Amino acid sequence: MAVRHGWLSGGETQDVQGEQTATDIDLPAFVASALIPHADAYRVPTGWASDLDGLPGFDWATNTVRMTNDPTRLRDAQGCELLYPGRSHPLTRRAIASVRAGRVSAAKSDTLSLLMTYRVEVGSFLRDIFALRLYPDGSVTEQPLALPDQPAPWANLWQRQFANWAPTAIEAAGATATAIADQIADQLALDHQARIARDIAAARTWLERRTTELCSAPLPWMGDLFDTGPDPDDWRTCAVPEQRLSAFATDPSTPVPKRREAAEVLARFRTVTASQSPLPPPSVRRLGMLMLVP
């Protein structure tokens, strides 16, 4: 650009032809092939959401994108924003990276089989890899990951040894891979819920202690025959820490510094409890394939 505009060529400009590229790749179709159809949109992996947040066509609540193959079209018939995945779009880059992750190789083994590797993701909480071994008789076993033997350099190996049975076996193995991914996610969910319960219990213990420090212990409630219980807006008799501190923070008779401190305690408690969100659903994707030949 400096040469073209004369900045480094003594003031003479040069008409430099831009690089011409031609491709018959349908980018929207390619990107869609890496996603999961969902109603009139496509569901994207949870880990991609941070790159797409705020972009037209992406819905954070459902983790889906609405796409179009027309770069001039901005909305659909219902007025919803549409996304066109150009060459530099974050969604296109993610789709390319996901396709590049697949690998196919071959190695010697004692039995003719396929070793399929999968990756399971649960948001940013878990990324794990497991392998399934597929046999010509249709059986599938979970295989510990290990280094293969020497590579097998046979020509047309797929057509000669695997083409007549492997595609059906690979499709059937998808259900097994999903079941294994669900088992991994279920165990993570149990651990996650236990951690949430511990965090919330610790936060409530801290809230009770701080409420007592600010408001002192609640006074015994003395009601008459027609009273149904203590007034939740009266922090002096209310026994529920969160309600009591909220009423204390809004009581005009309370000194302003104390009210401000009570509001800060409540805000911190609610931030801790609100951050304990459930886990997103697991996603499983095939990583690679190893052809094992005797």
Map 272-293 to HEC letters.
HHHCCCCCCCCEEEEEEEEEEE
- Give residue limits of the domains in the chain: 27-96, 101-192+280-293, 197-221+230-274
Q: Which two tokens stand for residue 263?
A: 């509001």
Q: Which two tokens stand for residue 247?
A: 């009423």
Q: Which two tokens stand for residue 98?
A: 């996901």
Q: Which of 247, 214, 215 is nearest to 230 (CA)?
A: 247
Each of the 294 residues of the chain gets a pLDDT tens digit; together they read: 344 444 444 444 444 443 344 445 677 888 887 788 888 888 888 778 888 888 888 988 888 899 888 888 888 888 888 988 887 888 888 887 766 555 677 788 888 998 888 888 887 677 788 888 899 998 888 887 654 555 555 667 778 888 889 888 888 888 888 888 888 888 888 888 888 888 888 988 999 999 888 888 877 766 555 555 566 667 787 888 888 888 888 888 888 988 899 899 988 888 888 766 777 778 887 877 888 888
The span from the first CA to the last CA of the chain, in angstroms, equals: 58
C-alpha distance from residue 292 to each of 129, 153, 288 (Å): 19, 12, 13
What global pTM score does this model have? 0.48
